Every structure is written in structure tokens, then in C-alpha cells.
């Protein structure tokens, strides 16, 4: 499988694996902004050469404007190169949580699965 197919497959998996911390009412959640592109992080060359695979869970703090203001690795893939690459998802734009019609900052958890097929 080519690297571009792998990245497309990974981005598709990301869209399916996005999990979020819902507001107390369970109805209003932050998520990737469908109007914005969110490129898949590039598979690190060293990780490819070493055939490293795994899932990384990162949390991002989505600000009221939809941009990420903080990010951290919640669960490591076991490989620092993959974890660092996953943090690049913080460059994506998100839809902020709305409470009473007003945007509020919120944490979003994202799981990214690094697989070589």
C-alpha cells in the first residue's frame, strides 16, 4: 500500500475514531470542523523504517474560535516519533462547543491509529 493510501486510510480512521468529552447535557460536543481540511499527520520516516505501529490518544483544548490552545498525549503508542506526529492534529480547526448559543473552550480526545498494511 502506498504512503498516500495509508495516510488517506488513517485520516478516514481518525474521522471515525474521534471521541469527545460531551457537555453535561450530552447534546453539544466539539468536533472537527467539516468546512476545514485536516490533513493526516505524515508517517515519520524513522517509524516507517522501523515498522512502528500503534494508537496514540491526544487531547486538545479547543478555544472559542475553534483553534487548539493546548494539546497533550493521553495514551502513548509506545513510540515517541508516532506520538509527536499525532500532536500535529492540533493544527486542525474544530467546531467549538456552544452553550446557550455562546462558544466555550472544551477538551477533545482524538485517537489516531498508526498502521502499516
pLDDT at 40: 86
pLDDT at 37: 75
How is the chain split among helix, strand and coil, in percent rounded to 5? Answer: 25, 30, 40
pLDDT at 22: 33
Quick one: cell of 2?
A: 502506498
Name every residue whose Cβ is closer than 8 Å to that of residue 57 and which is 6 or more positions away in sequence.
73, 74, 75, 109, 110, 111, 112
- Statement: 3-114 belongs to CATH 1.25.40: no
User: What pLDDT, in 10s, does the model give residues 69-88?
Assistant: 999 999 999 999 999 999 99
What are the extents of the domains in the chain?
A: 3-114
All residue ranges of the chain with pLDDT < 70 are 1-30, 34-35
Predicted structure pTM score: 0.73
Inter-residue contact 46 to 40 (CB < 8 Å):
no
Amino acid at each position: 500500500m502506498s504512503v498516500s493510501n495509508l495516510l488517506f486510510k488513517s485520516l478516514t480512521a481518525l474521522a471515525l475514531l474521534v471521541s469527545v468529552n460531551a457537555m453535561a447535557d450530552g447534546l453539544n460536543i466539539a468536533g472537527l470542523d467539516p468546512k476545514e481540511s485536516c490533513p493526516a499527520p505524515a508517517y515519520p520516516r524513522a517509524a516507517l523504517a522501523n515498522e512502528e505501529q500503534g494508537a496514540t490518544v491526544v487531547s486538545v483544548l479547543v478555544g472559542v474560535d475553534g483553534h487548539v490552545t493546548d494539546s497533550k498525549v493521553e495514551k502513548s503508542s509506545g513510540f515517541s516519533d508516532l506520538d509527536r506526529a499525532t500532536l500535529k492534529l492540533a493544527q486542525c480547526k474544530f467546531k467549538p462547543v456552544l452553550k446557550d448559543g455562546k462558544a466555550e473552550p472544551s477538551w477533545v480526545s482524538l485517537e489516531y491509529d498508526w498502521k502499516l498494511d
